[in-house]
Every structure is written in C-alpha cells, then in structure tokens.
Amino acid sequence: MRTRRVFVILVTVMLVMVVAWWSPGLLAQAPSGTRTFDPTVVDPKAAIAAAVAAFKQAQAIQNFTPPKTPWGDPDLSGYYLDATYTPLQRPDRLKNKAFFTEEEAIAELTRVITADAKVDPKDVHYDWKEYGMDGWQSPIRPSLRTSLIVDPENGRLPALTPEAQKRRADRAAAARVRDPQVGVGTMPAFYTRCIMGNAGGGPLARGGNPDPVSTVGSEAGVSAEFQIVQSPGYAVILTESNYDARIIPLDGRPHAPQTVRTWLGDSRGHWERNTLVVETTNFNDKSPGTNYQGSTDALKMTERFTLINPSTIKYEYTIEDPHTWTRPWSAEALLPRIPPPLYEFACHEQNYGLMNVVMGSQVREKEGKPPAAPGAER
C-alpha cells in the first residue's frame, strides 16, 4: 500500500511538472483573439502603440559606454531583431527626403503595419498571424530614415555595371523559357531547399515590406531574429532562419585563401573602440545559390555593430562588388534587443511553396503572361 501511495505521488508530481512546462507553449499557440495572447500580437493598434513607446524610450545615449565581457571586449552579446519596414531604397514618393520627423515616422509605421495586417489568410494558404510570424507582431520600431541606404545620398542603389545588366537579362530570359513542369527541379534558391536561411550571403537588415521597391530580399517578418555570442578571440552571429552561423575570428588572422569559398563568405572582425567591425569576403558564386542582390563572388561586405544604448544596436554595412555596381554603397538600421530564445527553425521543405510556384507558373503560361520576376519564388 505504501509503495502504491509513493507511486501515485510521483506520478502526480510528474504531471504537475509536465503541465507547468507545457502550458506556456500551449498558451503561445492558442488561436488569435483569445485572452491568453499579448494584445500586441493580435491587435495591430496595440502593436503600433508598443512600437511607438519603445521608439521614444530607446534613443541614442551620448557617449554611451557598453558593458565589458570578462576578457575586456565591449559586450554586444544577446538577441536582436533585424526586421524593419524601412525599405532598402527610398521610394519615389519621398525622393530627396532622407528623414521623417518623429510624427511622420510614426504615421509611416502605422501605414505599413495597417497594410500588412490586412493580408487575407486565404491568399497565403494559412494565417501567419496565428503563429505570431507577421512583422507587426514583433517588437518592431518606427524609423526616422526613409531608406536603409544612406550612401548614395539619394537613398537608391548605384547603377549596375554592364556586366551585371547582362547577367540579369540572361537570368530573366532563362526564367521565361523555363518549363513549369520541371520547376521543382530548377528552383534557383537555396532558401527554398532549406539549405540556407533568409540571410544567406549578405547583410542582416535588408529592407522591409510592403513597399514594391523592397520586395527583393526583404526581411520584414519571418525568422528575423539573430543572436550574437562572444568568447575570447571570437564572435558568432547565429540567425534563426535555418540556424545559419557565422564564426568570426577577432585575432587578426588573414582571410582564408581565395580558393576557399563559402555561401556565407569568410568573416574576420576587429574592434574599433566600442564598435565591432566585420569584413566578409570569399563568397561563393555557384548555381543555384545567388549572392545578395545578384552580386558575384567578388562581393565584399563590411559591417559595423555599435551598442548605442542598453537596448539598441546601430547596424551599418557597406557593400562592394565591381562586377555588379558602379560604386560601393552603404546602409544603416537600428536593431532592438529582444527576449531569448531563438526558436527551432523547423523547415517544412517548402511543401506548399514548391507546389504553388509550379502551379502558378502553369497558370501564367496558359494565360500567356510572363513568368514571375526572378527571386519571387522566395
């Protein structure tokens, strides 16, 4: 009898532990509209209000000194959000306006969040909002900048070289003659194959939806989180999307030989006072993978990470590729801290994505319309 009582007590304790562990996940997956959800993930107005409050509180602190790691480096470690609704290139409607006023920035965020939240779930197979995956459901903030690009001053990408223009024309021509029946076999994106994440070989902040100018490589919503991990002599940037990881030596070693090339490139870093500077070269340029914005293996990316207050990293990057653009160009974004963790990236192998792309191509072919623009399958 005593043994039986002990057994019952142990089972009861185990059940309580399981329920306690499982309940938060259950609540997090509850249908939208229930009281168990944070209002900011079910109500766009609540999300806007929270974003505005964070925006007003998280201003740059003059001469801010970040904490130090035990070995003396500035401590940037933590979790951050690189989602943004600021487009990579400045929209034509804003022309030479590089900055919003604070009121205009709030109005712009309200406009894009409202547009994003109105997406009909029937048009995208299932409701992303049910999983908290829409960009507006994240701790996204307004931005005073009208484009991520800060150089050139017009906020636009530099002109393509003749070589790059030909590459794009050839790619578009190949897409037009591609047989939709074999679309699954010729899909050109490693992201579609769950081999690389959204970030791929390029910067973390790439510009946001829903403006048309930012539809290529936009990163406004899904898996837009990353983690910085530091140890003596190294930094690691781990993205949630596909769990890509860049291991960055900080000990002054040279880049790998030119014959060694990877999809994420070869990164080397160093400190300039409180700023982590990371230079990445040695990108791959083999089909079916494509580098950022269609660049070549000559791509060079220089990133700068600076903690400007306890909750915000100023993220700057410069892109160079003489085989793609007529001059280097630079962009900038403010990336807020977010609570941990990075969740498991459970890739679904694009089951519906692949079928829908091929079926859509077949429909467009029957209608006599041109295929979707290169990159649209992402």
Tens digit of each residue's pLDDT (9 = 90 or more) over 124-151: 555 667 767 778 888 889 999 999 999 9
Residue type, 339: P
pLDDT score at 271: 98
What token pair was written down for 302? 């220089």
Domain segments of the chain as ranges: 78-98+145-366
pLDDT score at 57: 82
pLDDT score at 345: 77
Q: Which of 238, 319, 256 minimizes the C-alpha distance to 267? A: 256
Burial class (CB in 10 A: 0-12, 13-18, 19+), 140: buried
**DSSP strand E in 205-346: where?**
225-231, 234-239, 245-249, 266-272, 275-281, 300-309, 312-320, 329-336
Residue 334 in contact with residue 143, Cβ under 8 Å? yes
Residue type, 34: T
pLDDT score at 60: 78
Distance CA 283, CA 288 (A): 14
Q: 324-346: b or e for each residue (b if 16 or more CB lie within 10 Å)? A: bbeeebbbbbbbbbbeeebeebe
What token pair was written down for 346? 């459970």
pLDDT score at 6: 41
Tens of pLDDT, residue by residue, the chain (378 residues) = 444 444 444 444 344 333 333 333 333 334 444 456 688 888 889 888 989 998 888 777 888 999 999 999 999 999 999 989 899 999 999 988 999 999 999 999 999 888 888 776 666 555 667 767 778 888 889 999 999 999 999 999 999 999 999 998 988 887 677 665 554 544 556 666 677 776 567 899 988 754 443 333 344 456 789 999 999 999 999 998 888 899 999 999 999 999 999 989 999 999 999 999 999 999 987 766 678 888 999 999 999 999 999 999 999 999 999 999 999 999 999 999 999 998 877 766 556 666 777 777 778 778 876 555 444 433
Q: In a 3-state reduction of DSSP, which class is residue 104?
A: helix
Helix and strand totals (H; E) in the chain = 6, 10
pLDDT score at 296: 92
Residue type, 16: V
Write the DSSP string, 27-39. Answer: HHTSPTTSTTS-G
Residue type, 191: Y
What token pair was written down for 314? 């100023």
pTM, 2 dp = 0.80
pLDDT score at 59: 78
Distance CA 22, CA 355 (A): 34
Phi and psi angles of residue 280, each rounded to the nearest 5 degrees, phi first = -120, 125
Beta-bridge mates of residue 313: 307, 335
Distance CA 303, CA 321 (A): 15
Distance of CA 164 to the CA centre of its chain: 25
Does the CA dihedral 343-347-348-352 come out positive or negative? positive
Q: In a 3-state reduction of DSSP, which class is residue 137?
A: helix
